[in-house]
Amino acid sequence: MALRFLYITNNTDVALIAQKNGVEWIFVDLEFLGKSERQKGKDSLISNHKIDDVKKIRKVLTLSKLLVRINPIHNGSENEIKEVIDNGADIIMLPYFKTMFEVEKFLNFTYGKIKRILLLETKGSVDLLKSLIKIKEVDYYYIGLNDLSIDYGFKFMFEPLAYGLVDEISVKIRSISKEFGFGGIATLGGGLLPAEYILAEHYRLGSSMAILSRSFCNFKDYKNILDFEKRFSDELKKIREYEKIVQNIDKDFFKTNNEKMKEIVKKIIKRG
């Protein structure tokens, strides 16, 4: 089964292109509280999306689902979550939590047919996993490698994947047959750790979803929407073709791929 891809945007034209090319979840990102402080010095994206973008993107989607990442639990969470749901989100994501209290608040504030996804990106959330997987109201899990690597004191965001932490998390989630995903995917051959290695790891671990990252295709890098659309479509087709190969490959391939991935990560860390 092909991976479900997520794409972060608050641009309606870009959202329609992603939808047209089979991206299943369009991702509006409202999170900003505390993010710049904890990711200082990192090459990470802090979106400037607003609550009005939820309604704007909702209006143009006919096939893709609308995922909204809220802020971590804070004094305004109840109102923020209400606005997100009332403006038409299909899935709502809780980021950067460390305690069961935060998860309980999140669940108490959500209502209706909304799907709930927990973003595991702190040591505290990983430590809670045995309890979290018992909560029926949680529909999906996502492993946020960037903040997770920071919280564990790693130097490179894919160290949790290379050193087995993602394996440990995925085993627990698979035990309850819930869907999960992790990390971001660049274009094939792109990224410090090429996308081919990461894609194969998704299949080895039983992941069902991945974010198409900034380095996959960033609208800001193109002069016009047509150039962006062509690149987006072409690169996504390449990924889908590679997935077909991985889905039908010998199981020994995954062991070899994992070993090569670890070696690349080691070299990246050594280079600093």
Q: Enumerate domains of the chain plus CATH numbers.
A: 4-271 (3.20.20.60)
Q: Give the span between the Cα atoms of 34 and 270, in whole angstroms.
A: 29
41 pLDDT band, cuts 50/70/90, is low
Q: What is the pLDDT of residues 113-161, one digit of tens each?
A: 999 999 999 999 999 999 999 999 999 999 999 999 999 999 999 999 9
Report, as an integer, the average pLDDT of 42-67: 89
Half-sphere exposure of 19 (CA within 13 A, CB side): 20
Q: Give the span between the Cα atoms of 272 and 265, in whole angstroms.
A: 11
pLDDT at residue 191, as a whole number: 78
* 119 membership: H or E segment, kind and range: strand 115-120
Q: Kindly tell me if the per-residue pLDDT of 37 is higher than 80.
A: no
Copy the structure tokens of residue 189: 């051959």
pLDDT at residue 45, as a whole number: 62
Q: For the whole model, what pTM was predicted?
A: 0.94
pLDDT at residue 218, as a whole number: 85
46 pLDDT band, cuts 50/70/90, is low
Q: Give the span between the Cα atoms of 129 and 172, in whole angstroms.
A: 8
- In this structure, what are the phi and psi dihedrals at residue 75, rounded to the nearest 5 degrees? -60, -30
- In this structure, what are the phi and psi dihedrals at residue 174, rounded to the nearest 5 degrees? -65, -25
